[in-house]
């Protein structure tokens, strides 16, 4: 069994009626629904306004893969939360950063780069698979049409990924490394660009397939009680 | 000084009037013109119908960087020529494969993969820089508009490149790793997608800048008299 | 279920009594014994002197992961066999190249490099895990002592691997990228250096664990009926 | 001209007589002497006890490549200094982290990983070149003997490097990725392991050659006035 925690800042869906209508159960709720078919996954949700920002030590210790969606409240995530989450990633917890979480404190700390990009509201995307041999691409079509999606464009200031699994094409004239894997310490990381809050992207069956694959891929190979330390031989 | 040999199959420009008009001096001639401004480059041309397919041993031994454009006559390149060129690349000669040379015998042998892709005639491209720190990107704008270019689309069946320097966006709905670097033995390799024969892409000043940078980048760090061999200690 | 075919040139064990004593069932037999504990693996063996060099089309079509040990008879593998095996790898069949198979025709074709190295008879190895998050490292100790192993030393003329999972230290003064992964077409590839024929390295439980992990990792994500081809849109 | 700033914590050489004897001009002084032969390099030194920790804004703005040696005083580097230096690296300044700077705040922030390793006092190293085509390897022998060096061993908890140029072998039984390149934002980074303070490693002519090459390689391709930011199109 793989224990998944979906962590959502949960802001737009509560404050903006048009987004509430897209995701009445919250983005986390829609993501959770996408895992319902998978009997090897145990999924819970957490949101930023819960105690300890939704991620107390005991939840993280009981999480194999953490999924994070953030946008409006990047700066509200405390340094303590950042440290706690990164400690668990370095110890082996998988981490999936969605959409605007490219600019979250946690993702930027893991990358060591600005993580900046170009963007524009109101576009559509074709998501192409550039690495069909990758486990995250299993059962995923060569191209996924996302009729409504925010444009994200290169240069995306990230380190060279381990693998670029998906490349995004945007009608308005941009291209993006939309699905990338990284390893940090014992933790496997997947950044996945689709998921603007104004359209039900996380209800798309192929997007759900990708996230299911990503969770299985990111599940720990080894989980340490703490990050590795320097060892005097 | 860097010695550059531009090797062109030189077929379309001789046989098809519309392409002759685009490249009256041949694609090799247009490429050569693009290097004229650079006083550290010594450039010569070779074509497939010349003796030893234009690349006798003495020319290769006197070449720091080989540039190859091929399309209609991929199968005419003999196994002897392939072996001779690869031997020099493994020994340190740089190699730049242009456009449809993705499917040349030499490039496919260097990659070890099918090197296949999707394509469609008659499109336009926006070429985005995804790695602005790379020497090949020096002085190159963030996006280059190529008003007439053949569509090349993913999946491009290549190994993970060392660096993906450019990503191409095509109006018709495709994305491509349009500028990629590889190392094979002592040889540095750059694959560059733009350059369909029906439009004067190689006269575009930014495309010329990229090729000048690529030549300097691909020049040998070390040039051996022969490829490395197994060594019994 | 994962179908594994262990392909061995089967030469030393038949011709040299001292090696027969190490591997009386052949290297393939010892490798096969190492998979006996795993109920999700169906394992068969093939050797070079069998019809169609042990790998007729129907065997390859029924193989998820091919393991190859070769040394004395690299040149006996025909071009037809090479093509057949590479076609299946490009279509998704996993491939594990063991020890001196670094210099097999198939591995060299997949790499596109000389695949040369330094070597010396009669040494010992410490195999260190450099990427403990990798699935192939699951349950494998940080260092494995191999008391008798042939020295393999850098430079190992391969392309940059996708991941370097293991690094080898040799008492006689050499270091080697002893466990490396690659992707070629739809096929996942693992090169693993330990396994000189004069010592029972493939009976070491940790080496067996690595090979079990490697088989599961290399099993196809997608298996095509044929390698990808260029697609006119 | 390339402007190089050698930044040294300058602690051991002042406090420990035996180390003073090895490096009477400080580690920075010995490093600076190594660049004297190169007429395209303008070299200055900075140390941690100078105002603004030796690296005020105007020095960083006037530096193409920063070299950093640190060990005993990692924690004394202030967050302000870390931010200032990383801002310049993201904007294009090259960065060379030496030896125990693997555990400096700056290097760890750039990597996003623990950067931990195994170590033992009092050993010797053979430094092997694993990527002889890399510019940093130009003119460097296949193996460099360092008679006295601290043992550094895998696992080295770093992200996959862009290139692994050197691998270290230690007599006491360890192997290490001793020379690795990374890109972070517009900045090129080289981590180089040799340089324990108790032996004059930085006076070794081949080590000096590597550092000269590394400075030229890390010099900015593009230098921005500030790190890239998100861009609304």
User: Do β-strands B2-8 and B41-47 pair in parallel, antiparallel, or remain unpaired?
Assistant: parallel
Residues C175 and C169 sit within 8 Å (Cβ to Cβ):
yes
Residues C149 and C175 sit within 8 Å (Cβ to Cβ):
no
Residues 6+ positions from B88 with CB-CB distance below 8 Å: B60, B61, B63, B66, B187
pLDDT value of residue B19? 97
Q: Give the model's confidence band at C4: pLDDT under 50 very low, under 70 low, under 90 confident, else very high.
A: very high
Residue (of B120, B107, B90, B91) closest to B180 by Cα position: B107
Contacts of A185 in chain C (CB under 8 A): 133
Shortest distance between the Cα of A89 and any Cα of chain C, in A, equals: 11
Contacts of C167 in chain D (CB under 8 A): 154, 167, 175, 177
Domain residue limits, chain B? 2-113+178-218
pLDDT value of residue B16? 97
Q: Give the model's confidence band at D36: pLDDT under 50 very low, under 70 low, under 90 confident, else very high.
A: very high
Contacts of A153 in chain D (CB under 8 A): 233
pLDDT value of residue A140? 98
**Candidates D128, D154, D169; nearest CB to C130:** D154
> What tokens does D199 get?
């032996």
Name the strand (E) or helix (H) holding B209: helix B205-218
**Candidates A119, A159, A231; nearest CB to D184:** A159
Exposed e or buried b per residue across A157-170, where buried means at least 16 C-beta atoms within 10 angstroms of its C-beta:
bbbbbbbbbbbbbb
Residue (of C137, C99, C131, C113) closest to C217 by Cα position: C137
pLDDT value of residue D81? 98
Name the strand (E) or helix (H) holding C18: helix C17-22
| Residues A63, A116: Cα–Cα separation, whole Å | 28
Beta carbon pairs, C and D, within 8 Å: 56
Exposed e or buried b per residue across C67-77, where buried means at least 16 C-beta atoms within 10 angstroms of its C-beta:
bbbbbeebeeb
Residues 6+ positions from C140 with CB-CB distance below 8 Å: C129, C206, C209, C210, C213
CA torsion B200→D233→A191→A161, rounded to 10°? 40
Give the up-direction half-sphere exposure of residue C141: CA atoms within 13 A in the CB hemisphere: 11
Top residue of C65, C110, C222 to mutate, by most chain A CBs within 10 Å, is C222
Residue (of B53, B59, B56) closest to B76 by Cα position: B53
| Residues D146, D127: Cα–Cα separation, whole Å | 8
The CB density around residue A172, as the number of other CB atoms within 10 Å, is 14
Instruction: State whether residue D160 sits within 8 Å of chain A by CB.
Output: yes
Task: Please report how the helices B205-218 and B26-34 are oriented relative to each other, as an axis angle in degrees rounded to 10.
Answer: 80
Instruction: State whether residue C183 sits within 8 Å of chain B by CB.
Output: yes
Name the strand (E) or helix (H) holding B8: strand B2-8
pLDDT value of residue B3? 98
**Candidates C103, C160, C228; nearest CB to B155:** C228
What DSSP line would sit under B83-106, residue for residue?
HHHHHHHHTT-EEEEEGGGGGSHH
pLDDT value of residue B225? 97
pLDDT value of residue D4? 98
CATH topology of domain A2-113+178-218: Rossmann fold (3.40.50)
Residue (of B79, B71, B70, B66) closest to B109 by Cα position: B79
> What tokens does D189 get?
């980074």
| Residues D30, D198: Cα–Cα separation, whole Å | 13
pLDDT value of residue A37? 96
Residues A221 and A47 sit within 8 Å (Cβ to Cβ):
no
| Residues A45, A42: Cα–Cα separation, whole Å | 10
**Candidates A162, A182, A230; nearest CB to D117:** A230
Q: Do B131 and D183 touch (CB under 8 A)?
A: yes
pLDDT in tens, chain B (233 residues): 999 999 999 999 999 999 999 999 999 999 999 999 999 999 999 999 999 999 999 999 999 999 999 999 999 999 999 999 999 999 999 999 999 999 999 999 999 999 999 999 999 999 999 999 999 999 999 999 999 999 999 999 999 999 999 999 999 999 999 999 999 999 999 999 999 999 999 999 999 999 999 999 999 999 999 999 999 99
Architecture of domain D2-112+178-218: 3-Layer(aba) Sandwich (3.40)
pTM above 0.95, yes or no: yes
| Residues A143, B184: Cα–Cα separation, whole Å | 31
Residues 6+ positions from A6 with CB-CB distance below 8 Å: A28, A31, A32, A43, A44, A45, A46, A67, A69
Q: Please report the ipTM that was assigned to this predicted complex.
A: 0.97
Instruction: State whether residue B92 sits within 8 Å of chain D by CB.
Output: yes
Which chains contact A through at least 3 pairs of Cβ atoms less than 8 Å apart? B, C, D
Contacts of D164 in chain C (CB under 8 A): 164
Residues of chain A with pLDDT under 70: none
Give the torsion sign (CA, A60, A66, A67, A71): positive
- Residues C124-133 pLDDT 10s: 999 999 999 9
Exposed e or buried b per residue across C20-38, where buried means at least 16 C-beta atoms within 10 angstroms of its C-beta:
eebbeebbbbbbbebbeee
Instruction: State whether residue C133 sits within 8 Å of chain A by CB.
Output: yes
In eight-state DSSP terms, residue B29 is H
Residue in D with minimal Cα distance to C116: D130
Residue listed under structure tokens 């040379």: B101
| Residues B71, B69: Cα–Cα separation, whole Å | 7
Shortest distance between the Cα of A163 and any Cα of chain D, in A, equals: 11
- Residues D122-181 pLDDT 10s: 999 999 999 999 999 999 999 999 999 999 999 999 999 999 999 999 999 999 999 999
Q: What is the CATH number of domain C2-113+179-218?
A: 3.40.50.880
CA torsion D224→D227→D232→D233, rounded to 10°? 30
In eight-state DSSP terms, residue C29 is H
Shortest distance between the Cα of C58 and any Cα of chain D, in A, equals: 39
Residues A143 and A124 sit within 8 Å (Cβ to Cβ):
no
């Amino acid at each position: 069994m793989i224990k998944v925690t979906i962590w959502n800042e949960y802001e737009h869906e509560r404050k903006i009626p048009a987004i509430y209508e897209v995701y009445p159960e919250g983005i986390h709720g829609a993501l959770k629904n996408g895992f319902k078919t998978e009997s090897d996954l145990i999924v819970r949700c957490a949101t930023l306004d819960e105690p300890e920002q939704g991620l107390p030590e005991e939840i993280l210790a009981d999480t194999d893969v953490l999924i994070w969606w953030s946008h409006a409240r990047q700066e509200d995530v405390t340094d303590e939360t950042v440290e706690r989450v990164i400690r668990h990633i370095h110890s082996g917890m998988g981490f999936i950063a969605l959409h605007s979480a490219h600019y979250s404190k946690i993702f930027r700390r893991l990358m060591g780069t600005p993580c900046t990009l170009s963007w524009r509201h109101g576009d559509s995307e074709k998501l192409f698979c550039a690495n069909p041999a990758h486990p995250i691409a299993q059962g995923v079509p060569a191209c996924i049409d996302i009729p409504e999606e925010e444009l994200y464009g290169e240069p995306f200031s990230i380190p060279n990924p381990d693998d670029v699994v998906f490349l995004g094409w945007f009608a308005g004239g941009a291209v993006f490394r939309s699905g990338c894997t990284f390893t940090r310490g014992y933790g496997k990381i997947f950044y996945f660009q689709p998921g603007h809050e104004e359209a039900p992207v996380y209800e798309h069956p192929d997007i759900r397939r990708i996230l299911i694959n990503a969770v299985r891929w990111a599940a720990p190979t080894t989980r340490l009680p703490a990050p590795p330390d320097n060892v005097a031989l």
